């Protein structure tokens, strides 16, 4: 992972850490996804990092890795912005291995992988019924604006 990707990944882990202390990462060929709840079961996070985000990505055989996000964040905070980072899963030792390289200096951190969380987080079934109003002046103005660049327009109201 290059410096740019690492900066974004570190911010992503910071977001996950703010939501929950422990989360299960689901890793497959399409990328890394997280579906979890905070400890009070008030907020939910449902996110995905596509495999194309990384310079090189290989999904681990196990597929699910549960980590202490606070500890992972501490390790990532020790890495300089200009270091190259490689993160691998060592299933035999049940560790997440973070290897860094900058010039001639190489470092390795090992973070223990936790037992998978027992509970499967169900996706909520939320339906929003809504109505909206728009002034005809706004529609007329939008049509005139679109007329400058196109001969046709499409008006859509996503649900």
pLDDT in tens, 17-76: 888 888 999 999 999 999 888 878 788 888 898 988 888 888 888 788 999 999 999 999
pLDDT (0 to 100) of residue 157 = 67
pLDDT (0 to 100) of residue 119 = 66
Count of domains observed in the chain:
1
Rounded CA gap, 10 and 33, in Å?
15
The answer to whether residues 65 and 96 touch, using CB atoms and an 8 Å cutoff, is yes
Residue 60 within any structural domain of the chain: yes
pLDDT (0 to 100) of residue 1 = 77
Residue 143 within any structural domain of the chain: no
Residue 101 within any structural domain of the chain: yes
The H or E element containing residue 46 is strand 44-50
Residue 78: C-alpha distances to residues 5, 63, 72, 105 (Å): 16, 27, 10, 14
Residue 52 within any structural domain of the chain: yes
In terms of pLDDT, which residue wins out, 131 or 106?
Answer: 106
Phi, psi values for residue 83, rounded to 5°: -85, 145
Residue 144 within any structural domain of the chain: no
Domain with 95 in it: 3-112
Band of the pLDDT at 148, cuts 50, 70, 90?
confident
Q: What CATH number does residue 88 fall under?
A: 3.10.150.10
Highest mean pLDDT among 37-41, 107-111, 118-122: 107-111
Residue 130 within any structural domain of the chain: no
Residue 127 within any structural domain of the chain: no
């Amino acid at each position: 992972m290059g410096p740019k990707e690492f900066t974004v990944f570190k911010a992503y882990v910071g977001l996950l850490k703010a939501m929950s202390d422990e989360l299960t990462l689901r890793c497959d060929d399409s990328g890394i996804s997280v579906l979890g709840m905070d400890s009070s079961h008030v907020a939910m996070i449902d996110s995905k990092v596509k495999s194309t985000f990384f310079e090189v990505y290989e999904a681990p055989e196990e597929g699910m890795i549960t980590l202490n996000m606070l500890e992972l964040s501490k390790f990532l905070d020790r890495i300089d912005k200009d270091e190259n980072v490689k993160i691998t899963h060592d299933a035999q030792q049940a560790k997440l291995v973070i290897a860094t390289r900058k010039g001639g200096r190489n470092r390795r951190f090992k973070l223990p992988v936790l037992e998978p969380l027992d509970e499967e987080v169900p996706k909520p079934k939320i339906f929003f019924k809504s109505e909206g109003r728009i002034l005809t002046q706004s529609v007329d103005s939008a049509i005139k604006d679109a007329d400058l660049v196109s001969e046709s327009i499409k008006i859509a109201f996503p649900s």
